[in-house]
């Protein structure tokens, strides 16, 4: 039985407001997260992802409050990430109303936390948030392959991204939120080469993120190996609707919810 492709909206939350920029810079306000979440629920979005982009201790408290208010209003799966480092962090977010929890920097710092979270709560709650850049030489030219980044894509880590995704899956990650830092906010399309490379390395679901700009961008991402497609600013600012994206997928013979 084939599994329907999911369409996901991503809310980058900073101090209780949704923000969006290009390549994680020049952030602009996109609205109240609970209002946006309620709107997406009405539009038929399949899931919501909240990313606390500052994840300071103060920001984290804000996030618990926002997650709680959102969970009271909408009844679709809610993934929350940003600043997650321990099993206790996951526990608190699940108690606040999250259905799944994303982890990136914390897992890179201590990979065994993936297994600890999966053992305690089950792989289905654990989403590896992989912020990936194409490897570049010092002069900025492409060097081939992909590397991991942390801190919202600002800090490159000398770690092969495809190998890391495969390792995380072995440790117990239930899903990979695959963020192309190069494509983020550009609206020029998903990084299909990146999606295909990770698809070859793992059997768990992949969420394609970064680069959505037109309805034509979503089908190629699924054909490259994504199980779900995620967008942010094109939804927030009304450039695309959830219905338009699902219609484009259906028209190409892709099953959607």
What are the phi and psi torsion angles at 144 (to 5°)?
Answer: 90, 140
Angle between helices 242-251 and 33-43 (to 10 degrees): 40
**Please, is 240 exposed, middle or buried when counting C-beta atoms within 10 Å of its C-beta (0-12, 13-18, 19+)?**
buried
CA-nearest of 48, 46, 44, 90 to 69 is 48
- Is the torsion defined by CA of 142, 197, 76, 89 positive or negative? negative
Question: String of b and e for 158-190 (b: at least 16 CB within 10 Å)?
Answer: eeebbebbbbbbebbbbbbbbbbbbbbbebebb
SS (H, E, C) 56-94: CHHHHHHHHHHHHHHHHHCCCCEEEECCCCCHHHHHHHH
**Please, is 58 exposed, middle or buried when counting C-beta atoms within 10 Å of its C-beta (0-12, 13-18, 19+)?**
exposed
- List active site positions: 12, 131
SS (H, E, C) 210-246: CCCCCHHHHHHHHHHCCCEEEECHHHHCCCCCHHHHH
């Amino acid at each position: 039985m084939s599994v329907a492709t999911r369409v996901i909206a991503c809310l980058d939350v900073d101090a209780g407001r949704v923000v969006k920029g290009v390549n994680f810079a020049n952030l602009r306000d996109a609205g109240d997260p609970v209002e946006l979440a309620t709107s997406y629920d009405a539009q038929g979005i399949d899931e919501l992802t909240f990313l606390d982009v500052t994840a300071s201790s103060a920001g984290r408290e804000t996030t618990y409050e926002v997650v709680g208010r959102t969970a009271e209003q909408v009844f679709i799966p809610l993934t929350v990430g940003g600043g997650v480092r321990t099993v206790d962090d996951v526990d608190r977010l699940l108690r606040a109303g999250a259905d799944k929890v994303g982890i990136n920097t914390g897992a890179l710092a201590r990979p065994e936390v993936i297994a600890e979270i999966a053992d305690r709560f089950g792989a289905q709650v654990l989403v590896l948030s992989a912020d990936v850049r194409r490897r570049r030489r010092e002069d900025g030219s492409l060097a081939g392959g992909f590397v991991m980044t942390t801190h919202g894509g600002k800090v490159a880590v000398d770690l092969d991204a495809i190998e890391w995704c495969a390792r995380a899956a072995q440790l117990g990650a239930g899903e990979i939120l695959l963020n192309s830092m190069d494509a983020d906010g550009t609206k020029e399309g998903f990084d299909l080469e990146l999606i295909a490379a990770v698809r070859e390395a793992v059997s768990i679901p992949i969420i394609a993120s970064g680069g959505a700009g037109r309805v034509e961008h979503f089908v190629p991402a699924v054909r490259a190996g994504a199980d779900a497609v995620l967008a942010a600013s094109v939804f927030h600012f009304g450039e695309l609707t959830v219905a338009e994206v699902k219609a484009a997928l259906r028209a190409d013979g892709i099953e959607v919810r």
